[in-house]
Structure 1
Amino acid sequence: MQIEGTSAVVTGAASGLGAATARALVADGVHVVGLDLADGWERADAPVDGVEAVTGDVTSADDVARAVDAAVASGAPLRLAVSCAGVAWASRVLSRKGVHDLDLFQQVVGINLVGTFNVLRLAAEAIARTRPADDDGQRGVVVNTASVAAYDGQVGQAAYAASKGGVAALTLPAARDLAQHGIRVVTIAPGILDTPMMSSIAEEFRASLAAGVPFPARLGRPDEYARMVLAIAAQDYLNGEVVRLDGALRMGPR
């Protein structure tokens, strides 16, 4: 699928994977509408050049609809939606502090899984109204973000792994549901990427994480995730799949 001259919605666009993806799409001639929380945009030095910044929460139908409407209003056909917004709050099921807080579990699943589905359903609705982009009837692609934790959840990751496992499991049925509309659904499951979530980790621990990656033995970069998004958009026969982006990493229990 050719994306130059189209529009896209990217969530979590103020930083990390979302900002890198927005930057890569703009460089390829895409009109990008970036959705993030108000404090996300405040922490960012500035929105990526060329990105139309929208403030909102992925769990809000109204907020996501505003971002989708902004992409449609750009006049460029909406062909791509990328869900990068997410949280990685950790807690053990049982610990010295007590039992896992139920509200915390619901929040993580709400943002990571329900928020992803909210973006998918509303973006798909708008993409389905566009004219086909090619002779195969393709209209667009939705890219979701899971995690290797969907398969290798570690101690303290019950909520996070459950939420990302849900995103992985959502991929195939969503692709099958949307096939009649010419919309593909693909999920990226990153390993350990060097995003703002990693900024508070001590350098020694970062080095030990990098050493655990078989090859290349380093943390992944947000621009590598962004290039995967571009590759998914370009590869029309890639659909209903979860692609691990992890340097062959398989996480241990802790």
Structure 2
Amino acid sequence: MAAIERNPSVFHVLKSKTAIITGGANGIVAEVVRLFHSHGANVVIADLLSTKTAAETLISSLSSRVVFIPTDILTWQSMVSLFNQTVSLFGSVELVVANAGMMESKPYYEFEEDENGDLKEPKESYRVIDVNLKGTMNTLRLAIYYMRKNQPSFADGSKGSVVLISSTSGYFGGTGVVSYVSSKHGVTGLLRSSQRNANRHGVRVNGVAPFFTPTYITSSYSQSWKESGLPANSVQDVAWAFAQTATDLKYKGACILVRAPALLMNTKLMMKAFGSVMKEIEIPRTQLLSMWLGEDVSESSARAGALFESLGGYPLPKPKI
């Protein structure tokens, strides 16, 4: 896979457009807010009420084109209100970064018992799945619903652009962090399964899959990671990948892996010069299916896909009475 060159020329499409960024008060996506704003976008930071201070601090360093709307991505009415308020303030929504997410704080297979000696229900794990997958599904569904009403907003005739935040954990699963890995695999599946309908409504949907990036989620092992000499992204590099994926019109159904190059980690000057490497990983995966599955299974899968396309999509079963 060839590395993707940084292309700041695509950022011009941000000017005068409106972006909703979920979970945008802190971490990587606070940098996305700054980057979008610096190129002329109106930005709505959609995050929990508990992040209000962080959001207001970020906004104070920018301008009136950035607002904070307290939002719970798991509450449908809260999400509807977010989009309605955004349209009321700025007239439309052309860009959405579905970033809000979390990781569990205890292992899924830590067998904690209640007072009766029975295995406790893993409620925290359920919340991880809800926030990372259900919340992202809510965000994408509403984004397409509102964007489909836009006039064509981009040079290719599309009406909107959505970036879903997956992870390398959405492609690999060896860490044993069951709930987070499962949820990010779900986000990757959401990316793939949404293309037909997104295209029909004129919305480009892509993903970004960052490798290790020092944030709150990784704070418990960031120092060990650094001491090991393993590569690490900067939040600025990942924010750049989000912005380029959102604005580069050639991406449709793509997922951009963001990974710092290991050989440059010990040379600060070179790291500053070259930053993290971006690579598209969905097209190579598709190209390698015949090698992975065999020509016969790959061909059958392609024919099945063509059949469903001719039927106007996968025929859904009727609800059971």
Aligned residue in 1 for 2:267: none
**Structure 2 spans left out of the alignment, 5+ residues:** 1-9, 114-118, 263-321
Aligned residue in 1 for 2:46: 35
Q: Which among 10, 21, 38 is matched to residue 32 of structure 2?
A: 21
Per the TM alignment, residue 47 of structure 1 is displaced from its structure 2 partner at its CA by 3.2
Report sequence identity in percent.
24
Q: Which among 67, 71, 74 is matched to residue 86 of structure 2?
A: 71
Give 1 or 2 for the bigger CA radius of gyration: 2
**Residue 172 (structure 2) pairs with residue 152 (structure 1):** yes
Per the TM alignment, residue 102 of structure 1 is displaced from its structure 2 partner at its CA by 2.9
* Equivalent residues of 1:90, 1:160 under 8 A apart: no
* Equivalent residues of 1:16, 1:222 under 8 A apart: yes
1:48-84 residue CA offsets vs partner (Å, 9 max, x unmatched) = 3232001121111122222212221233531100011
Per the TM alignment, residue 181 of structure 1 is displaced from its structure 2 partner at its CA by 1.4
**Residue 133 (structure 2) pairs with residue 120 (structure 1):** no
1:86-124 residue CA offsets vs partner (Å, 9 max, x unmatched) = 101144343364668432221111000000110111111
Q: Secondary structure of 1:68's match?
A: helix
**Residue 76 (structure 2) pairs with residue 56 (structure 1):** no
Q: Which amino acid aligns with 2:190?
A: L
Q: Within 2, Cα distance between the matches of 1:47 and 1:63? A: 22
* Equivalent residues of 1:92, 1:100 under 8 A apart: no
Per the TM alignment, residue 133 of structure 1 is displaced from its structure 2 partner at its CA by 1.9
Q: Within 2, Cα distance between the matches of 1:201 and 1:39? A: 25
User: Which shifted more, 42-51 or 61-70?
Assistant: 42-51
**Residue 194 (structure 2) pairs with residue 179 (structure 1):** no
Q: Which amino acid aligns with 2:78?
A: D
Q: Secondary structure of 1:142's match?
A: strand
Aligned residue in 1 for 2:99: 84
Judged with a 3 Å threshold, the aligned counterparts in structure 2 of structure 1 residues 243 and 36 are, in CA distance, closer, same or farther, namely same
**Residue 226 (structure 2) pairs with residue 207 (structure 1):** yes
Aligned residue in 2 for 1:189: 209
Greater share of residues in helix: 2
Cα RMSD over matched residues? 2.3
Aligned residue in 1 for 2:244: 231
* Equivalent residues of 2:156, 2:249 under 8 A apart: no
Structure 1 stretches of at least 4 aligned residues deviating more than 6 Å after TM superposition: none
* Equivalent residues of 1:58, 1:119 under 8 A apart: yes
Q: Which among 4, 12, 15 is matched to residue 4 of structure 1?
A: 15
Per the TM alignment, residue 42 of structure 1 is displaced from its structure 2 partner at its CA by 3.4
Q: Within 2, Cα distance between the matches of 1:167 and 1:148? A: 11
Q: Secondary structure of 1:225's match?
A: helix
1:194-250 residue CA offsets vs partner (Å, 9 max, x unmatched) = 2233345463x14146x23xxxx3x2122212211221233212111222112378x
Q: Which among 254, 272, 275 is matched to residue 241 of structure 1?
A: 254
Judged with a 3 Å threshold, the aligned counterparts in structure 2 of structure 1 residues 24 and 100 are, in CA distance, closer, same or farther, namely farther
Q: Secondary structure of 2:100's match?
A: coil
* Equivalent residues of 1:142, 1:185 under 8 A apart: yes
Matches within 5 A, 1:97-112: 97=112, 101-112=121-132
Q: Give TM-score, length-normalised by structure 1.
A: 0.86
Bigger RCO of structures 1 and 2 (CA < 8 A, at least 6 apart):
1
Judged with a 3 Å threshold, the aligned counterparts in structure 2 of structure 1 residues 90 and 158 are, in CA distance, closer, same or farther, namely farther
**Residue 143 (structure 2) pairs with residue 132 (structure 1):** no
1:126-173 residue CA offsets vs partner (Å, 9 max, x unmatched) = 111110024642111110101111222244411000000000111122
**Structure 1 spans left out of the alignment, 5+ residues:** 250-254
